Amino acid sequence: MNSPASVPPEELRLAKARDVLQVLWQGARAELGAEYLRVESPSAEVKGHGPGDARLVSGKRGVTIEGLEQVGNYAVKISFNDGHRTGIYTWEYLKTLADEFEERWAAYERDLSAAGLGRDKAGPVVLRRDLR
């Protein structure tokens, strides 16, 4: 039996401004901002290649979504206007991002502050483990 998180969403809709992805799962709705999706990308560029390799991505406040491409029956590939195109967001990961938004966003803002970085200007690469 598939868990609800592994079931494809009923709908993915990109807002007109291309800054929000609306996701509808079996009656539950989430609105995921492009900036949030970009800084939480499951790509190796963001998550790294192993435990403790996650990088802090700064300067993405104005990022928008250029395109969505379904990957099989398990994920969507999101392309952003900053050239990032390598993250494949499984249905389960999208649901996790929706469910954990408040905690993840608060941790992201804390990490930016600790690194002396911000949402408006890209800064140097910082490993998130070095901020703990």
Q: Which residue has the higher pLDDT, 26 or 108?
A: 108
**Quick one: pLDDT at residue 132?**
76
pTM of the model as a whole? 0.93
Taking the C-alpha atoms of residue 59 and residue 70, their distance in angstroms, rounded to an integer, is 27
**Domain residues for 112?**
4-131
With both helix axes pointing from N to C terminus, report the angle between 101-115 and 91-99 in degrees, rounded to the nearest 10: 80
Q: What is the pLDDT of residue 95?
A: 95
The average pLDDT across 90-106 equals: 96
Q: Using pLDDT thresholds of 50, 70 and 90, give the confidence band for residue 5.
A: low
Q: What is the CATH number of the domain that holds 108?
A: 3.30.2020.30
Residue 5: phi, psi to the nearest 5?
Answer: -70, -25
The predicted structure's pLDDT at residue 52: 87
Give CA–CA dist 123/119, Å, rounded.
Answer: 9
pLDDT at 1 over 50: no
Query: Can you say how many angstroms the Cα of residue 30 is from the centroid of all Cα atoms in its chain?
Result: 13
pLDDT tens column, 37-73: 999 999 999 999 988 899 999 999 999 999 999 999 9
Domain count, the chain: 1
Measured between alpha carbons, how far is 40 from 14 in angstroms, rounded to an integer? 18
